[in-house]
């Protein structure tokens, strides 16, 4: 069920932003501590930050308050953008704070004084150049649910409009495992971006008669966590590398937890290699969540896709062009796939495209 939240029109967002910038008679707060709340604090003399999860009492020279201590007549901008932007607005309203705005709307209303969320900016830029490719992907989606999700995500990403996202919940517990996957005995599962082993463990529970699991995780720290967590799981191979389109040593940013990724400025190095050159047995299900390296990893799995026709669950939210470049690549190899789209948070993260063999 969609949740009721107060969303903003461009005019109401502009009015709110002007009040927030200039009305010193009312308390002004930002909700959440992150790069976006810091952006606001740099241009407005706010009264403080609201955050129930930090131990800090001061941030950027301003006090940090718990939500229950904030005056109901305050002006508050929520800077929660990734996974829980709807819940953040609902929590503010439940606390009795009526004058609330979301960062997406305010960034657009600021006329460049505040940077918009990167996913919004990049989607707008890419869509302007490739609207036909996006339309072709939507047409190829095989069920009404997928098309509805596609439309909602595009509305949100193109218009900075949170209203279409009110139907989504945070649902990491079922991510990658939809009913249409139809898992069977003797599955060979590739967990690309295995992180702490959660997805491989979930797979083993859902499909106990699997034949093998191949977990790929380039971070030594997280691989050790996965190995400890999955020590009782049989028939699993831990690969201390990332999946890519070639064997290489690349820079890696390991400080972002589950969002750690390959980057030119990374302070660590990792080894990467092709799935085709790493796993010789046939595979039946490939999951990829590689923080933007999904397309190179698919290119490195070309032989497996052609020969094995595996199910694919691929994260496409890290880069907007993945919405169309990834299906273009897969369907260019072989056209006998059904495409499904599912989304697992309230914000721009955790969108997965499924390719199911016909």
Instruction: State mean pLDDT over 39-55.
Output: 94
| DSSP 3-state of 16 | helix
Convert the pLDDT of each residue in 216-226 to its tens digit. 999 999 999 99
CATH topology of domain 131-357: Rossmann fold (3.40.50)
What is residue 262's predicted lDDT score, i.e. its pLDDT?
53
Strand 242-243's sheet: what is its strand order? 242-243, 268-273, 248-253, 261-262
What is residue 259's predicted lDDT score, i.e. its pLDDT?
46
What is residue 264's predicted lDDT score, i.e. its pLDDT?
59
Q: Please say if the pLDDT value at position 4 is more than 90.
A: no
Convert the pLDDT of each residue in 324-354 to its tens digit. 999 999 999 999 999 999 999 999 999 999 9
Convert the pLDDT of each residue in 176-208 to its tens digit. 999 999 999 999 999 999 999 999 999 999 999
For tokens 């990403």, what's the residue? 157
| DSSP 3-state of 198 | helix
What is residue 118's predicted lDDT score, i.e. its pLDDT?
96
Convert the pLDDT of each residue in 261-311 to its tens digit. 455 555 678 899 999 999 999 999 999 999 899 999 999 999 999 999 999
* Cα atoms in the Cβ-side hemisphere of radius 13 Å centred on 269: 4
| Dist. CA 267–CA 275, nearest whole Å | 25
- Alpha helices (H) in 230-338, listed in sequence order: 294-299, 302-308, 322-333
How sure is the predictor about 88, in pLDDT bands with cuts at 50, 70 and 90?
A: very high
What is residue 260's predicted lDDT score, i.e. its pLDDT?
42
* Cα atoms in the Cβ-side hemisphere of radius 13 Å centred on 161: 13
| Dist. CA 105–CA 162, nearest whole Å | 9
| DSSP 3-state of 203 | helix
What is residue 144's predicted lDDT score, i.e. its pLDDT?
98
Q: Please say if the pLDDT value at position 257 is more than 60.
A: no
For tokens 């800077």, what's the residue? 79
Structure tokens at 352: 């997965």
What is residue 269's predicted lDDT score, i.e. its pLDDT?
84
Domains of the chain: which residue ranges?
10-115, 131-357
Which of 62, 280, 289 minimizes the C-alpha distance to 196? 289
Convert the pLDDT of each residue in 101-158 to its tens digit. 999 999 999 999 999 999 999 999 999 999 999 999 999 999 999 999 999 999 999 9
How sure is the predictor about 254, in pLDDT bands with cuts at 50, 70 and 90?
A: low
**Helix, strand, coil in percent for the chain, rounding step 5:** 40, 20, 40
For tokens 């919940």, what's the residue? 169
What is residue 258's predicted lDDT score, i.e. its pLDDT?
39
Structure tokens at 182: 């139809």
Class of domain 10-115: alpha beta
What is residue 107's predicted lDDT score, i.e. its pLDDT?
97
| DSSP 3-state of 131 | helix
**How far is C-alpha 214 from the geometric centre of its chain's CA atoms?**
23
What is residue 267's predicted lDDT score, i.e. its pLDDT?
61
Convert the pLDDT of each residue in 5-45 to its tens digit. 777 889 999 999 999 998 889 999 999 999 999 999 999 99
Q: Please say if the pLDDT value at position 61 is more than 60.
A: yes
| Dist. CA 106–CA 109, nearest whole Å | 5
Structure tokens at 275: 């799935």
């Amino acid at each position: 069920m969609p949740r009721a939240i107060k969303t903003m029109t461009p005019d109401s967002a502009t009015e709110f932003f002007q009040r927030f910038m200039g009305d010193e008679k009312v308390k002004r707060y930002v909700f959440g501590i992150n790069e976006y709340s810091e952006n606001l604090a740099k241009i407005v003399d706010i009264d403080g930050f609201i955050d129930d999860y930090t131990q800090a009492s001061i941030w950027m020279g301003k006090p940090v308050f718990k939500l229950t201590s904030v005056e109901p007549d305050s002006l508050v901008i929520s800077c929660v953008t990734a996974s829980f932007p709807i819940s953040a607005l609902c929590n503010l309203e439940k606390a009795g704070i009526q004058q609330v705005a979301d960062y997406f709307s305010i960034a657009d209303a600021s006329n460049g004084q505040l940077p918009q969320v990167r996913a919004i900016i990049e989607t707008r830029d890419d869509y302007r150049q490739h609207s036909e490719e996006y339309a072709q992907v939507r047409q190829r989606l095989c069920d009404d649910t997928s098309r509805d999700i596609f439309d909602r995500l595009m509305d949100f990403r193109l218009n900075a409009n949170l209203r279409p996202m009110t139907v989504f919940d945070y649902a990491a517990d079922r991510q990658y495992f939809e009913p249409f996957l139809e898992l069977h005995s003797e599955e060979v599962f590739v967990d690309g971006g295995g992180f702490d082993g959660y997805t491989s463990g979930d797979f083993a529970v859902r499909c106990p008669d699997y034949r093998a699991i191949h977990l790929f995780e380039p971070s030594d720290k997280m691989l050790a966590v996965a190995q400890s967590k999955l020590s009782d799981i049989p028939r699993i191979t831990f690969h201390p590398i990332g999946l890519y389109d070639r064997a290489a040593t690349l820079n890696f940013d390991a400080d972002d937890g589950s969002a750690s990724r390959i980057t030119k400025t990374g302070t660590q190095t990792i080894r990467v290699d092709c799935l085709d050159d790493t796993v010789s047995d046939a595979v039946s299900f490939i999951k990829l969540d590689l923080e933007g390296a999904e397309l190179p990893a698919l290119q490195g799995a070309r032989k497996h896709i052609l020969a094995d026709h595996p199910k694919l669950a691929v994260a496409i939210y890290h880069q907007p062009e993945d919405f169309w470049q990834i299906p273009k690549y897969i369907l260019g190899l072989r056209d006998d796939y059904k495409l499904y789209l599912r989304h697992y948070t309230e914000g721009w993260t955790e969108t997965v495209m499924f390719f199911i063999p016909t």
